[in-house]
Amino acid sequence: MDKPMSDSHFKLMSFGYKFRDFFLPRMNVLKEAGIKPGFHVLDYGCGPGGYIIAAAELVGKSGKIYALDIHPLAIQRVQSITSKKQLTNVETICSDCKTGLPDKSIDVALLFDTLHGLSEPNEVLAELHRVLKPNGILSLSDHHLKEDEIRTKITDKGLFRLLRKGERVYNFSKVG
Ligand SMILES: C[S@@+](CC[C@H](N)C(=O)[O-])C[C@H]1O[C@@H](n2cnc3c(N)ncnc32)[C@H](O)[C@@H]1O
């Protein structure tokens, strides 16, 4: 399975995301994912937590955000954001695939800018399929991949079908 990138690479990436998030606030992206108050959302490959504040706001106090990453620095960053902003609805998970979450417990799984780097994408997709509710959404963007690569990788095993292509994200629905 995957190994975390070096700490220096992670810090450089996090620095770059500060500019990205300044010029295109993450709320604008998340609005396309269809997150509603009370939803349980898994941010798979959360990185330094660019989506966390906006996601926590969208689900509200009755909802929950699970922020998962393979990198311990990502987990530290998200924990620091949640304590600074006093977010009580965010939980972190350090993992390279398994979430430890119950079957059919997640309304929306976010896979933003992460698919291209997964060495075992089908294992991760099977885990996301397991935790998603029957009408759950996998919301995805990946500027490293072309549209046909994204569609093929996600729908190839018959676990997801394309529901909607938005301006910035693809929303897939769970099959079965
Ligand atoms: C390019 S960053 C994207 C971060 C975030 N989603 C965003 O768009 O702001 C990809 C993240 O995926 C994480 N990652 C890579 N392989 C992983 C795996 N197998 N399981 C969980 N996280 C992984 C990396 O540590 C990194 O933080």
Give how many domains the chain has, as a whole number: 1
C-alpha 99/C-alpha 114 separation (Å) is 15
Ligand 1 centroid to Cα of residue 155, in Å, is 21
Neighbours of 56 (CB within 10 A): 22
Give every CB contact of residue 2 below 8 A, 6+ residues apart in sequence. Answer: 70, 96, 117, 118, 119, 120
Confidence at residue 176, expressed as pLDDT on a 0 to 100 scale: 85
- The answer to pTM > 0.85 is yes
Domain assignment of residue 26, given as a range? 7-174
Side chain identity at 26, as an amino acid letter?
R
Give domain status of residue 73, yes or no. yes
The response to whether residue 46 sits with its C-beta less than 6 Å from ligand 1 reads yes
Q: On the CB side of 69, how many CA atoms lie within 13 Å of its CA?
A: 25
Taking the C-alpha atoms of residue 99 and residue 44, their distance in angstroms, rounded to an integer, is 9
The predicted-structure confidence for 10-44, as pLDDT tens digits, reads as follows 999 999 999 999 999 999 999 999 999 999 999 99
Q: At 97, which CATH number?
A: 3.40.50.150
Task: Say whether 97 sits in a helix, a strand or coil.
Answer: coil
161 Cα to the center of ligand 1, angstroms: 23
- Kindly give the number of the ligand 1 atom that is closest to the alpha carbon of 4: 25
- 1 in a structural domain: no
The percent of residues in the chain predicted with pLDDT above 90, rounded, is: 99
Tell me the DSSP string of 43-80.
EET-TTTTTHHHHHHHH-TTSEEEEEES-HHHHHHHHH
Q: Is 114 in the pocket of ligand 1 (CB under 6 A)?
A: yes
CB of 107 closer than 6 angstroms to any ligand 1 atom: no
Look at residue 34 and tell me if it is in a domain.
yes
Mind giving me the DSSP string for 13-37?
HHHHHHHHHHHS-HHHHHGGGT--T
pLDDT at 145: 98
Q: Which pLDDT band holds residue 143 (cuts at 50, 70, 90)? A: very high
50 lines ligand 1 (CB under 6 A): yes
Strand (E) or helix (H) holding 168: none
User: Nearest C-alpha to atom 26 of ligand 1 is from which residue?
Assistant: 47
Q: In this structure, is residue 123 part of a structural domain? A: yes
Residue 1 has pLDDT above 90, yes or no: no
User: What whole-number distance in Å separates Cα of residue 59 and Cα of residue 64?
Assistant: 7
Tell whether ligand 1 has an atom less than 6 A from the beta carbon of residue 71: yes
State in Å: Cα 71 to ligand 1 middle: 8
| Coil, helix or strand at residue 1 | coil
What average pLDDT does this structure show over 80-100? Answer: 98
CB of 110 within 6 A of ligand 1: the answer is no
2 in a structural domain: no
Which residue's CA is minimally distant from atom 14 of ligand 1?
45
Q: What is the pLDDT of residues 157-172, one digit of tens each?
A: 999 999 999 999 999 9
- Is residue 63 one of the residues assigned to a domain? yes
State the Cα–Cα distance between residues 63 and 143, nearest whole angstrom: 29
With respect to residue 57, please indicate whether it lies within any of the assigned structural domains: yes
Query: Please, which pLDDT band fits residue 69 given cuts at 50, 70 and 90?
Result: very high
Q: Please indicate whether residue 74, judged by its CB atom, sits closer than 6 Å to ligand 1.
A: yes
- Average model confidence (pLDDT) across the chain: 97
